[in-house]
Amino acid sequence: MTKEILSVQNVKASYGAIEALHGIDLVVNEGEIVVVLGANGAGKTTTLRAICNMLSTSGTVMLDGEDISKTDTASIVAKGVAHVPQGRGTFAALTVRENMEVGAYTRNDDEVEADIDMWFEKYPVLGERQKQAAGSLSGGEQQMLAVARAAMSRPRLMLLDEPSLGLAPLIIEDLFRTFAQINKEQGTSMLVVEQNANLALEIADRGYLIETGLITGSGTADELRNDPAVQAAYLGA
């Protein structure tokens, strides 16, 4: 029996008078990587922001069976959700190392330093630049930092908002390999929002299609990959 770590039920969200989500339902099971595919403006980012209660919503968001739709963002993070926002969201004025330290803000154990060193070993580029301001890193390095920083909170669920945006293909591949690795080694569940369907479906277990604020399809990664509509819209087939 699989256990739902995240369950989004009939979530609607609006920016002022404009409703961006018209009632979204989706589920992430424990240990799964779930991808949400959609075009620009379909509501992908809004969905992730709604899960973290960063804008006013209606509907229910359940984390591990607990309703978090009225919980404030910082407390949701403390419950084990890490959100890597679009555009990285690194602290440009802080050093790379400080970014990592603040990523562990919700933790109170004494393994923070060890975790940072572990990541710097994994990404030597970050280690070499740990005293540099994060704003001086390249786009790819900033995305690595954003992911590593999110992982520093030892989340049970990671929300990744278009991690491939604006990155070179080789870097994207590397990044997705890291996601798969974090997922496998630490059992972190992931909800990835992407336009780059190829790579996302490669590491994902399941996926959803989102169009103009509505879920229009779902299935296992294989089903989606072989779906002619998906192929036409996202895989360039």
Helix (H, G, I), strand (E, B) or coil at 70: coil
The residues in 91-150 that bind another protein, with binding defined as CB under 8 A, are 91-94, 98, 101-103, 105-106, 135-139, 142, 149-150
**85 forms part of the interface with another protein (CB under 8 A):** yes
Cβ neighbours, 10 Å, residue 10: 12
* Distance between CA atoms of residues 164 and 167, nearest Å: 6
> For another protein, how many residues bind (rule: CB under 8 A)?
34
Nearer to another protein, 133 or 235 (CB): 133
Nearer to another protein, 23 or 89 (CB): 89
Could you tell me the smallest distance in angstroms from the CB atom of residue 201 to another protein? 26
The single residue among 23, 31, 59, 87 that binds another protein, judged by CB under 8 A, is: 87
**15 forms part of the interface with another protein (CB under 8 A):** no
CA atoms within 13 A on the CB side of 204: 28
Nearer to another protein, 129 or 206 (CB): 129
Which ranges of the chain does DSSP label H, i.e. alpha helix?
Answer: 44-51, 73-78, 96-103, 112-122, 124-128, 139-151, 169-186, 197-203, 221-226, 228-230
Could you tell me the smallest distance in angstroms from the CB atom of residue 235 to another protein? 27
Q: Candidates 59-67, 70-78, 118-126, 225-233 — which segment interacts with another protein by CB under 8 A?
A: 70-78
DSSP string, 166-221: T--HHHHHHHHHHHHHHHHHH--EEEEEES-HHHHHHH-SEEEEEETTEEEEEEEH
* Distance between CA atoms of residues 111 and 203, nearest Å: 29
* Contact footprint for another protein (CB under 8 A): 52, 54, 72-75, 77-78, 82-83, 85, 87, 89-94, 98, 101-103, 105-106, 135-139, 142, 149-150, 153, 166
